[in-house]
Amino acid sequence: MHVTFRQLKVFESVARHLSFTQAAQELHLTQPAVSMQIKQLEEAAGLPLFEQLGKKIYLTQAGQEMYHYCRNIASELAAAEETLEQLKGVHRGHLNIAVASTANAFATRLLANFAKQHEGISFSLDVTNRATLVRQLEHNERDLVIMGRPPQSMDLVTEAFMDNPLVVIAPPEHPLVTRGTLSIDSLQQEVFVVREQGSGTRIAMERFFHERGIRVETGMEMTSNEAIKQAVEAGLGLGIVSIHTLELELETRRLVILNVEGFPILRHWYVVHRRGKRLSPVAEAFRQFVLTQADSVLKGNYARPGTQS
């Protein structure tokens, strides 16, 4: 079977997205060009790799087998690239990382400081939700991932590098703001704007209240911390977010942190990669940078948990 790396790369993208359109966007190709590459690959394989039912496409059995081998080939090519990068040292190379949306506020600052020390490198940063981070780890799609609670079901190297306090936020005019230290029971009368099911913040919040026998009313569900902050600011309820997302809002007093008994919920940020993964010199250098310098780079940028401003 005669195939090209280009055909395999296009096929992998279409198979992963189950979409010719999304693959074309990702690869910066036209949709007809993507379709042509898939057609040529199917002709070389002698079997259809996709089937269309209604408006959706699916992998055929042959397509599923091809996808399996295609991912293995991509992994071997990535390993070869990493080996070559090791010969170049940390003055060149590309860093491919993903971070939880909550971590974006400080991750860009870390990358900026790292880039100043290694001016010859380039990097790709994907800011996304927990479900996508877990999938990317499962498929070994990123050099490193920065996230909150790592999945325990996967064989990962997880290294904590910084505290991640979760705090209760309110608009400045909220009646609870002037009441000083609040009991947890006082929150049972309040509506909370919360993250979607499965997010790390939502899991930590629900575990915290469940362990204390507290039931809180959840109103709107949001898919990002920015949306939660805006909803809280608009008076739609209280929120629980990482303090690392609040720098601007606290400085401008658009939001305040309530001093609630038992808060902050103390979690950690982790730098994560698949166990056994051979990190390139650039990825290893960034990992060491995060573990040893994150605190000093970010020190003083965030208010201490439990304060109002």
In angstroms, rounded to a whole number, what is the distance separating the alpha carbons of residues 114 and 120?
11
pLDDT of residue 155: 92
Peptide bond into 264 cis (omega under 30): yes
Q: Count CB-CB contacts under 10 A for residue 172.
A: 13
Instruction: For domain 89-162+268-298, say whether CATH 3.40.640.10 is its number.
Output: no
pLDDT of residue 23: 94
Q: Which residues of the chain have pLDDT under 50?
A: 302-309
| Fold entry, domain 165-266 | D-Maltodextrin-Binding Protein; domain 2 (3.40.190)
In angstroms, rounded to a whole number, what is the distance separating the alpha carbons of residues 273 and 144?
5
pLDDT of residue 91: 62
User: How far apart are the two ends of the chain, measured CA to CA in Å?
Assistant: 65
pLDDT of residue 63: 94
Q: Count CB-CB contacts under 10 A for residue 267.
A: 18
> pTM for the whole thing?
0.61
Structure tokens at 303: 């208010």
Interstrand relation of 217-222 and 50-53 (parallel, antiparallel or unpaired): unpaired
b/e sequence 213-231, b meaning 16+ C-beta within 10 Å: eeebeeeeebebbeebbbb
| Fold entry, domain 5-83 | Arc Repressor Mutant, subunit A (1.10.10)
Domains 89-162+268-298 and 165-266 belong to one CATH topology: yes
